[in-house]
Amino acid sequence: MLDLTLIDKDWTLFLDRDGVINYEKEADYIRNAGEFRFYEGVPEAIGIFAGRFGRIFVVTNQKGIGKGLMTDKDLQDIHEVMLKEIEMNHGRIDRIYFCPDLDETSPNRKPNPGMGFQAKADFPDIDFSRSLMVGNTMGDMKFGKSLGAKTIFIPSTKPMPVLPDPLIDAVYPGLHAIAKAL
């Protein structure tokens, strides 16, 4: 079992965005800041995470850009709204990594570990064995495990996998529940 009380400033937190931080649109993308809606308690949870984790990153696939349904500027606007609310709740996101690629074999497209390696290049003190990946898909879990991180599955929009599963270290209903367990 994953003991979250052992997490300290030496740990790194990787968060998926859609379905973890904010509501997803069914069979579509969050295309602009007006469509972005936090799950209840998420800004406050990230405020708690800021006091425990040394680094906090968002790692998100953003195929909508690759498909031409939104622009880099649209994504930047969404993230500005997200970051402002998080900061108002004493939280922080140290960096947002996103992959607009359509090709599933792109090294940066989850479940491939490229965004994690980008974070390691930008923050060389990251120890993947002292990292936690939180996501709502098995691709997120595979991303975390390919880095050597611990994983938490949030069953927000995807079916709950059959447990035990070697890709999943723990299951929580949302970020607020993880924050309470720290």
Q: Which residues pair with 150 in a beta bridge?
A: 132
Q: Is 77 part of the annotated catalytic residue set? A: no
Q: Which listed residue (3, 10, 16, 125) is catalytic? A: 16
What DSSP line would sit under 84-136, residue for residue? HHHHHTT---SEEEEE----TT-TTSTTSSHHHHHHHHH-TT--GGGEEEEES
DSSP type of residue 150: E
Q: Is 140 part of the annotated catalytic residue set? A: no
Q: Which listed residue (10, 18, 77, 101) is catalytic? A: 18
Short-list 24, 44, 84, 55, CA closest to 178: 44
| Burial class of 65 by CB neighbour count within 10 A (0 to 12, 13 to 18, 19+) | buried
Tell me the C-alpha distance between 157 and 160, whole Å: 9
CA dihedral 42, 48, 54, 57 (to 10 degrees): 0
CA dihedral 125, 51, 58, 152 (to 10 degrees): 100
- Residues marked as catalytic: 16, 18
